[in-house]
Structure 1
Amino acid sequence: MRNWFRSTIGGLPRLYWYLWTGMLINRVGGFVALVLSLYLTSDRNVALPVAGLVVGVYGIGGIAGVLLGGVLADRWGRRPTLLLAHFGAVAVLVGLTFARPIPAIAVLAALLGLMHSMPGPAFVAAIVDVTPTDDRSRAFNLQFWAFNLGMAVASVLAGALAEVSFTLLFAVDASATLLTALLILWKVRETRPTPPARPARRTAQKSSGGLHTALTDRAYMLFVGLSLLLAILSMQTSTILPLAITGDGLRPSVYGAVVAYAALLIVIGQLFVPRLIDRWRKGTSLAIANVFLGLGFAAVSLADGVLGYLVAATVWTVGSMIAAPPNAAVIAELSPAELRGRYQSVFYLTFPAASFIAPAAGGVSLQYLGDWHWIVCGALGLVAAAGHLLIQPARERRVAQQLEAERFAVPVAG
């Protein structure tokens, strides 16, 4: 047990744990977005189409927040970006508590989406800044674990608080966000690296620029494209899977049980993943992860009862757990030190993109293909797996060059 603890948790920088704690607190309290539509329809008596539009505006704000957060993390620094996002979110949550006109709520929802999405690139960039290369896989594994643990707790709290008072719900969310902001203000110093020194001049010139640098980075965009396939597969659980379960004549509560079971597997098993995959090349890990994801969703085509769906969930959840650490580590490796925030923001765009593609294409696919939709998902997993194996040699050569350049970058004192 001592060896497991040391290899899984021990040895990470103290600053990493402050960031990790802030993410966990913020995620546990970040449940307003989960019940925004319920608040609008049950407490504000808003029609369903209008409620859907307001929630959609929150998503649009999230897209803008991802891009803005990446740019500010590189220009202003990680710490100022995190403080702006969290203190800004507190102000918006207070505003939502007292807002009554629907247009005002819509504006505040867009701002909340903006503030909620801004910290993502800055958090991850700061983790990369302070964590040694060899420890990043463990660091991101723990981050993924904290995210899922926080989401599980947030879902339970959201349902309980919504039954008591939406005002209380907003207040608790704002308090958790404020607590995260104060922790960052107190314990998190600036981590943004200085520009590379003279010996890395050629690399620095190549990587200097804005978002277009990431968007025109061929090696990075190939990886982002494959990550989009993974995100589309993962998004099946929250978009198309409920339709399949109810289509088999099962109660909606079965869907909730399957999702809760998958989350429980991650909370229990994620901490053991690093020891399993540390000896594998990252591209190989991602290929195996995508195979599991594909097989898990393909297995849905055979499921017609609770047991079948639980077996399928077990397989795809194993894939999700294997994918998390190497996926984040590769993004960190491919990102030039002075553009980490921007590179992270480009990657984070895969989530809203998948949130649109998965239900839009999946609904049509399920209607016309039936259970063959899940076979197509399985094939997508195999395509993504093959893609990771094909790009692995060139990506590893690029990473070696990137690591050599980063030797000349030093953290900013702060």
Structure 2
Amino acid sequence: MTAIPSTIPPSGHGLPRPALLGLFLFFCAGFADGALVPFFPLWASSEAGIPIGAIGLLFACYAGGELVAAPLIGGIADRVGRRPVLILSSLGVGCGFIALFFVHGVVTTAIVLLATGMCESVLHPTILTAIADVTEPSAHPRWFSMARVSSSVGQILGPTCGALLALMSLSTVFLAAGGVLVLGGVVMLAALAETLGRGDAASDPDEEDDGLSALLPAFRDGRLAKLLAWVVLFEISGNWIEAVIPLYAQDAGTLTPSGIGALFAYAGALTVGLQMLVSRFAETRSALWLTVGAGLSTIGAFALLAASPAMLSLVAAVSLCAVAQMLVGPLVPTAVNALAPRSRRASYMAASSVAVDLKDSLGPSIGTALYALAPRLPWLAGIPLVAIASLGLGAAIGRARHRRDNVEPDDQAAADTSMPQNGSMLENYR
């Protein structure tokens, strides 16, 4: 590998520029998701003529592209660098979203979504990896919380923009979603410095390329596999809020498409306003306490939705779901980084993205299928699922924290060469 300078230029405020650019790219991705996801089921059922029970299959095509690509290219940022991966993936996802405006038919749409998902498979994990490269381990929870805030700012503007565009045509939201990600790719091309340091690839001589299992560490690291299994179980049911509410609210006559966009913009605004406050509150709480709290919030949301599709229930449900994600969101990437050797950080983050991809694939597919059987069935089925998953996830994250806190000093230095050793990556959740 060609030697890459390890000096990372600071921003004008003394903060690492790659981390700030990573926050900007999270904003772009959040805007795209916010503009696209709430309106996609409405576009599919009204303008594309797709049966409700099959809408989840199109979501599955997007997530399926990520699942296919992640084992093959998930760790590529550990080999070629973070910068080219971020540039190409953001441009690829943006162009894929724009292409949806021009395509017609279920088959063509599925193909475009599959290709777009393949590009997206490395976008989010590589952003998180670049942030982790240039920040201290003890600061990772704070930076990952800021990443959620940046994404949520985009998820405020995205649905708001989508709600306005939906007045003209639901398909126009694809142009806005794709255009912002293309802009993000251009900014990365112009301003991002490489964060893969000169010593990273050689820091662990035993971690040589050994095929698929090296690119998807869950095949090799049982601790990571167990952690991600609980993440998938928890996130699948939580995803039903996002995937099913647009159909639930429209069929009940509670909200118009523009109203649905405003509802999800409100959820993003709630995260922007409260995420850092919740993260500060979470510093003194155990991982199990936080995941159980997230589980109870999600269960409360499901109970309200099962009781009524009225406006008050919808607003309260998305509020509770947003709080649940504020509690759990920064914990998962922090725990994954705690398990990852520095030379395999991007690979481990890519493995964790597989859990998100499974959620994005199985969540809408199962949720919309249950909704097709009975409108309240997703909420009733989700309550016991979330209860079990929140307990298992808390225990798995706690074990990852214990490993990091008790790692031997020599092992710590080998795993995090060139990084300041100022504290545990999970210290803030002690």
Give 1:171-320 correspondences, 5 Å limit: 171-195=175-199, 204-205=205-206, 209=210, 210-239=214-243, 251-252=254-255, 259=264, 261-281=266-286, 283-284=287-288, 286-293=290-297, 295-297=299-301, 299-300=303-304, 303-304=307-308, 306-307=311-312, 310-311=315-316, 313-320=318-325
Q: Decide which structure has greater helix share.
A: 1
Aligned to 2:61: 57
Percentage of identical aligned residues: 21
Letter of the structure 2 residue corresponding to residue 380 of structure 1: I
Distance in structure 2 (CA, Å) of the matches to 1:341 and 1:143: 17
Q: What corresponds to 1:408 in structure 2? A: 417
1:316-355 equivalences in 2 (<5 Å): 316-355=321-360
Residue 154 to residue 359, structure 1, CA distance change in 2 (3 Å): closer
Contact 1:231 1:351 survives alignment (8 Å): yes
Higher relative contact order (CA 8 A, sep 6+): 2
Listed as ranges, the gaps of 5+ residues in structure 2 are 1-12, 421-430
Contact persistence 1:226–1:384 (CA under 8 A): yes
1:83 aligns with 2:87: yes
1:335-414 alignment, distance < 5 Å: 335-358=340-363, 373=381, 375-384=383-392, 387-388=395-396, 391=399, 394-397=402-405, 403-409=412-418
**AA partner of residue 345 (structure 2):** R
- TM, length-normalised to structure 2: 0.75
Q: Is the 8 A contact 2:270 2:322 kept in 1?
A: yes
Q: How does 1:49-128 map to 2 (within 5 A)?
A: 56-92=60-96, 95-99=99-103, 104-128=108-132
- Give the letter aligned to residue 336 of structure 1: P
Residue 66 of structure 2 contacts residue 354 of structure 2 at CA under 8 Å; is this kept in 1? no
Residue 298 of structure 1: how far off its partner (Å):
6.2
Corresponding residue number in structure 2 for 1:21 = 24
Distance 1:335 1:134 in 2: 15
Q: Give the C-alpha shift of residue 266 in structure 1.
A: 1.4
**Are 2:92 and 2:119, in contact at CA under 8 Å, matched by a contact in 1?**
yes
Q: Tell me the equivalent position of 1:3.
A: none
Give, in whole Å, the separation in 2 of the partners of 1:109 and 1:215: 27
- Kindly tell me the number of residue pairs found equivalent between the two proteins: 396
Q: Gaps (5+ residues) in structure 1? A: 1-9
Is the contact made by 2:62 and 2:116 (CA closer than 8 Å) also made in structure 1?
yes
